A and B are shown apart, each in its own frame.
Chain A
Amino acid sequence: MQHTVEGPTNNEVLENLRLELRRGCLILAVLAELRDERYGYTLRKALAGQGMEIDEGTLYPLLRRLESQGLLVSEWREEDKRNKRFYRLSADGKLILKQLSAEWKSINASLDGIL
């Protein structure tokens, strides 16, 4: 006898897993992009330009979280007649980025072998 359990569809499962996979990558991408100082809007465009689309609802809370973890520093400054919050990597952020990049390369190499 075959039992069927009502649950999420394959598409939903795929979407959830894709989001999970992207989450860690996004952090790495954001940290890497913030080696140069940027404000949210230009950061988002820079990421999109590299094929890493990220919506505001994900990016801005992520920036705040990374800042609260001490990986980013920010300051309000006027540019184009409007106040903008500029972010850049902190000293801790630079160190973490280096370690995460090494981790990423290691995982990538392993996965290449596995896949």
Chain B
Amino acid sequence: MELIERYLQAVKFALPPEQRDDIIKELRDNILSQVEEKEAELGNPLSEDEQVELLKKLGSPMRLASRYRKQQQMIGATMFPIYWKVLKASLALAFLVLAAASIATAAAGKTLMESLGVLFRYPSVALMTFAWITLAFSALEFFGARLRLKDTWDPRKLPPLVKQSPRKSRFELIAQLLVQTIFGVWWLAGLHYQYLILGPGIAFLRFGPVWQTIYPLFVVMVLVDLTLTAAMLVWPQWIQGRRVSRLVMSALGLVVLYFLINAPDLFVAADSITPQLQALAKGTNYGVHLGLVIAAIVSVVNIGIESVRFVGRRLGRVHQATVS
């Protein structure tokens, strides 16, 4: 019955999120009832060809799912789920490009206003993105209807089943909380007692002043991290917990990265006289700066991806699923 599950998965993809599970449950029962009846009639299990025939009678997954959505004006209900996903992905991509450009501007030593100015262009870029994608899909809808595109689809070509990532167990969350607490205490203490972090390296290098300037930010990060994990432990039914947690921590991390990237000396020589130590500090600062810029770009990408998934789900819930 894998083919049937793959069909249901494809239908689920295009259903309104708030009714998704309920609708799929009901459709599954209906399909299985049909299968049972057919099997009783034939006296043997359905072959793949017979399953294909049965699914074809139900119509393509997108078409079936579209019946549960309200009819759109410019873009039909069949096309709308694809349009919606493409629009969200494109808006996120536009944000990522601008955010990366903004970080690159900051890394190049420009002022905060100049680097933020790049990001502030987002509303106009987003509007243009929205307009072009809507136009493209409207055209596709219009010409698709004119050309009377046939509903040619083959259940055999449906995508394979995707395994759901299991929710973290209580034990895993407690272990995570423990590790986060140990790491948080070590890190916060280490910024004051530097040998805890730098070890024997303290004879050569010390943290620059910026680490103390943003110390409160580190405290906030540790507290927020612990609070979010504790919240997931207390409310296991909070499905979006992991996503929210990653999003908030990535955003806070980005703020920290911003300050670090803009700091002239992340590390200073332990001895301000020895030229070798000065060179070591300079080289280390260059290498770490480069690493931080890469980390910032990765962080922006993560935030973009997580935001799209999170906002997508929230918007999906708001999108009313009345049936046409």
The answer on A and B forming one complex is yes
Which residues of A are in contact with B by a Cβ distance under 8 Å?
A: 39-41, 44, 55-58, 60-62, 64-65, 68, 76, 82-85
Contacts known (A41-B33, A56-B58, A68-B322); A61 close to B27, Cβ less than 8 A? no
- Say if the beta carbon of B147 comes within 8 Å of chain A: no
The answer to whether A61 and B67 touch across the interface, beta carbons within 8 angstroms, is yes
Q: In the complex, A60 Cα to B59 Cα: how many Å?
A: 14
The answer to whether A84 and B67 touch across the interface, beta carbons within 8 angstroms, is no
- Residues of A contacting B30 with CB < 8 Å? 40-41, 44, 56, 60
10 extra A-B contacts, CB within 8 A, seeds A41-B33, A55-B59, A57-B64: A41-B29, A41-B30, A55-B57, A57-B67, A60-B68, A61-B324, A65-B322, A65-B323, A68-B323, A82-B32
Q: Would you list the 6 A-B pairs with minimal beta carbon distance, nearest first?
A: A61-B323, A41-B33, A65-B323, A61-B67, A57-B67, A57-B64
Candidates B29, B322, B324; contact of A84 at CB < 8 Å = B29
- Residues of A contacting B57 with CB < 8 Å? 55
The answer to whether B67 and A58 touch across the interface, beta carbons within 8 angstroms, is yes
Q: In the complex, A68 Cα to B23 Cα: how many Å?
A: 14
- Say if the beta carbon of B63 comes within 8 Å of chain A: yes
- Residues of A contacting B58 with CB < 8 Å? 55-57
B81 to chain A, nearest CB (A): 15
- Say if the beta carbon of B49 comes within 8 Å of chain A: no
Q: 1/0 per residue B51-83: CB within 8 Å of A?
A: 000000111000110011000000000000000
The answer to whether B68 and A82 touch across the interface, beta carbons within 8 angstroms, is no
- Residues of B contacting A56 with CB < 8 Å? 27, 30, 58, 64
A contacts with B: majority SS = helix
- Residues of A contacting B322 with CB < 8 Å? 65, 68
- Say if the beta carbon of B25 comes within 8 Å of chain A: yes
Range for the number of chain B residues in contact with chain A = 20 to 34
Q: In the complex, A40 Cα to B57 Cα: how many Å?
A: 16
Q: 1/0 per residue B210-248: CB within 8 Å of A?
A: 000000000000000000000000000000000000000
Q: In the complex, A57 Cα to B64 Cα: how many Å?
A: 5
Q: In the complex, A65 Cα to B324 Cα: how many Å?
A: 8
- Say if the beta carbon of B26 comes within 8 Å of chain A: yes
Candidates A44, A62, A76; contact of B323 at CB < 8 Å = A62
Pull 18 A–B residue pairs with CB atoms less than 8 Å apart, ordered by A: A40-B30, A41-B29, A41-B34, A55-B57, A55-B59, A56-B64, A57-B64, A57-B67, A58-B67, A60-B26, A64-B23, A64-B323, A65-B322, A68-B322, A82-B32, A83-B25, A85-B22, A85-B26
The answer to whether A64 and B19 touch across the interface, beta carbons within 8 angstroms, is yes
- Residues of B contacting A68 with CB < 8 Å? 322-323
A22 to chain B, nearest CB (A): 15
- Residues of B contacting A61 with CB < 8 Å? 67-68, 323-324
The answer to whether A83 and B29 touch across the interface, beta carbons within 8 angstroms, is yes
Candidates B33, B63, B64, B68; contact of A64 at CB < 8 Å = B68
The answer to whether A60 and B23 touch across the interface, beta carbons within 8 angstroms, is yes
